[in-house]
Amino acid sequence: MKRTYLGEFEELVLLTVAILKEKAYGVAIADELQDQTGRSANISAVHAALHRLEEKGMLASHLGEATAERGGRRKRLFVVTALGGATLSEIKEMRNRLWNAIGPDTLIATI
């Protein structure tokens, strides 16, 4: 598989879509990102990352049903594709290899 690189924010957005499953849409993703990371996520940045991830084939989207709470508008819902899932697995494996390669005394601060 050709390696597609993700920036940190794209990776976080992709992971958050996986967490939310069928309830993943812009505002819910931004809220979950803040809950999980403690970082505030600008909704425009979330939408831009969603668009990039969809263009890369890592996400797919569809319009949900119209809701009264949104004035009859429909939400664009996102799901992780097979490529997106494989990419997340690859990233996790790489990070685990790197962490496992660090010696036990490496991260101990010396004064």
pLDDT at residue number 65: 80
Q: How many helices (H) and strands (E) does the chain have?
A: 4, 2
Give per-residue pLDDT as tens, 16-66: 999 999 999 999 999 999 999 999 999 999 999 999 999 999 999 999 887
What is the C-alpha separation between 10 and 41, in angstroms, rounded?
A: 12
pLDDT at residue number 43: 95
One-letter amino acid identity for 78? F
Let me know if domain 8-110 sits in CATH 1.10.10.10: yes
- Tallying the residues shown for the chain, one arrives at 111
Q: 78 forms bridges with which residues in the sheet?
A: 61
What is the C-alpha separation between 93 and 95, in angstroms, rounded?
A: 6
